[in-house]
């Protein structure tokens, strides 16, 4: 599969609030190499989701442009899929159809798309829940449905908005290592949003720390941990703890 990088050139964005514009993103300049795993870390409301939606082509920036594989982004495309922070599941269809939804929209025949969906349902450890409706699932389970749906369309670029925020700590660690393995296998380009410094360090090649109001990049941090990373030896390493400490220092400054 062709690998694609993502470039953000001078992205700015404001929203209207009570008739006056509030600047949310200010001159964001980020380059994500093809096959690279980058994370965005920053306080709540600093514009992480907004950035991700701009990359996904769901929002238009007021200034600047997003370039993917030499082409300017003008809208959503088959090269990208998003794991949404608020899950965004269709409440009236079951897990199987939710996971297969992206494939359904692309006209993949029913038998084929359900087979693919079942594989990913298994990957996110929801086997047996194929015919449950979203309101019968816990928040963490719903989040995994959204994750499976995004993976099922097999995009080159995965945009993940706090995909493990609602899952419990054990599952989160399992998913982190699964995602790390998946990335190792397929070398997808991943843009990952998280509040967890440990998670960012464990998964990423590079971490961008954002400040709030207006959101801008205050620090670009390169993670020098070797790959492939297995959870046990990485988390205990000196490099790991020092990286987390460093990020904590940067974030504390922002408060």
Partner 1 sequence: MRSRAAKRQKVFQISLRLFSLLVFALIWEVAGRAEISFGLRPLSGTLKALVDLIGSGDLAYAFLISFRTLITGFSAAAIFGVSLGLIMGTFRRFEHFCNVYLMLLLSMPTAALIPLILLTMGFGFVAESLIVFLFAVPIIAINTHTGVLNIEASLIQMSRCFLASRSQLFLKVILPGSVPMMMAGLRLGLSRAFIGMITAELILSPLGLGRLISISTSKFQYERLFAVTLSILIVAALILDGMQRVERRLLRWRH
Ligand X SMILES: Nc1ncnc2c1ncn2[C@@H]1O[C@H](COP(=O)(O)OP(=O)(O)OP(=O)(O)O)[C@@H](O)[C@H]1O
What is the contact surface with ligand X in residues (CB under 6 A)?
Answer: 15, 24, 44-50, 85
Whichever of 48 and 172 has its CB closer to Mg ion, that residue is 48
Whichever of 133 and 235 has its CB closer to partner 1, that residue is 133
90 binds partner 1, rule: CB under 8 A:
yes
Tokens for 81, please give them: 């899929």
Q: Provide the pairing of β-strand 63-68 with 189-194.
A: unpaired
CB 79, min distance to partner 1, A: 11
CB 176, min distance to ligand X, A: 19
What sign does the CA torsion over 235, 241, 244, 248 have?
positive
Classify 10 as helix, strand or coil: strand
Tokens for 5, please give them: 């990088």
49 binds Mg ion, rule: CB under 5 A:
yes
Binding pattern for the stretch 66-105 against Mg ion, x by CB under 5 A and - elsewhere:
-------------------x--------------------
Question: How many other CB atoms sit within 10 Å of the CB of residue 126?
Answer: 22
Measured CA to CA, the distance from residue 154 to residue 52 in angstroms comes to: 18
Compute the radius of gyration of the chain from its Cα atoms: 18
Measured CA to CA, the distance from residue 37 to residue 189 in angstroms comes to: 6
Whichever of 15 and 248 has its CB closer to ligand X, that residue is 15
Q: Which residues bind partner 1 (CB under 8 A)?
A: 53, 56-58, 75-78, 80-82, 84, 86, 88, 90-93, 101-102, 104-106, 133-135, 149, 153
């Amino acid at each position: 599969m062709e690998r694609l990088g993502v470039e953000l050139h001078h992205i700015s964005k404001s929203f209207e609030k009570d008739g006056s514009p509030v600047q949310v993103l200010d001159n964001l300049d980020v380059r994500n190499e093809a096959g690279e795993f980058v994370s965005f870390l920053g306080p709540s409301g600093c514009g992480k989701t907004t950035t991700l939606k701009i990359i996904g082509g769901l929002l238009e920036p007021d200034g600047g442009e997003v370039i993917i594989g030499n082409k300017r982004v003008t809208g959503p495309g088959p090269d990208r899929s998003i794991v949404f922070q608020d899950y965004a599941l269709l409440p009236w269809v079951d897990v199987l159809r939710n996971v297969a939804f992206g494939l359904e929209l692309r006209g993949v025949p029913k038998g084929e798309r359900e087979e693919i969906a079942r594989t990913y349902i298994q990957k996110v450890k929801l086997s047996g829940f194929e015919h449950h409706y979203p309101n019968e699932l816990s928040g963490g389970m719903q989040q995994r449905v959204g994750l499976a749906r995004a993976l099922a369309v097999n995009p080159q670029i995965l945009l993940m908005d706090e995909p493990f925020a609602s899952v419990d700590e054990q599952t989160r660690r399992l998913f982190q290592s699964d995602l790390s393995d998946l990335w190792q296998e397929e070398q997808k380009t991943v843009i990952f949003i998280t509040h967890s410094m440990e998670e960012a360090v464990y998964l990423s090649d590079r971490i961008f720390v954002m400040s709030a109001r207006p959101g801008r990049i205050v620090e670009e941090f390169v993670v020098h941990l070797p790959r492939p990373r297995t959870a046990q030896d990485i988390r205990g390493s000196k490099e790991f703890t020092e990286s987390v400490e460093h990020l904590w220092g940067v974030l504390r400054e922002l408060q």
